[in-house]
Every structure is written in structure tokens, then in C-alpha cells.
Amino acid sequence: MTHNQIEIGCDRSGTPNPNKSPPKAVPSRKLDCPFRVYARKYAKSTTWTLKVKNPDHSHDATKNILAHPAFRKFNEQETSQISQMS
């Protein structure tokens, strides 16, 4: 991929590492989901194009957005407030 292209995949893509030790009590979120989208920005424009390479997911849709780790992270303001409290 060049600097003006990006690949977007499902956060459940990839496969769990079978060699991880000790094994986690909570199973891996990775389900080898094949969903893929490619985005490309043209050099002399602000236009982006999207191309869906694989529209399929290997799992059901998430019912609660908080099931995704990215939505459970603290933002900068929250992190600052926590630091001030420590």
C-alpha cells in the first residue's frame, strides 16, 4: 500500500495466536473475518474512492458498540482527569 491508500478490515479479522502462553481466560476476539475495504486518495484532489474487496463477515453484527475495544478507551480529557486524580 502506498501513502495515499489504506486497507480497512474488521476488528475481528486475523486468527488467534495458538502459541500464546499462558492461554488467556477470555478467548480471542479474532475470528478470521474476511471483510475488507480499500480506500484511495487521488494525489491532485481531496477525493477518496472506496472499493469493497470482501463485504462478508464471519460473525453476527455487534449489538452494543462497547463490545469494540476502541470504544472503551479513554479520550485525552478523561486521561488527563485520571492523571490529576492520581
Question: How many domains is the chain partitioned into structurally?
Answer: 1
**Structure confidence at residue 22 as a pLDDT band (50, 70, 90):** low
The β-bridge partners of 37 are 8, 52
Q: What is the pTM of this model?
A: 0.60
Distance CA 36, CA 53 (A): 5
For 68-80, the pLDDT digits (tens) are 777 778 888 988 8
* pLDDT in the model for residue 45: 83
Mean pLDDT, rounded, for 14-38: 77
Instruction: Report whether 9 contacts 36 (CB < 8 A).
Output: yes
β partners of residue 8: 37
pLDDT reading at 23 higher than 80: no
Task: Give the domain range for residue 42.
Answer: 5-85
Task: Indicate whether 2 pLDDT > 70.
Answer: no
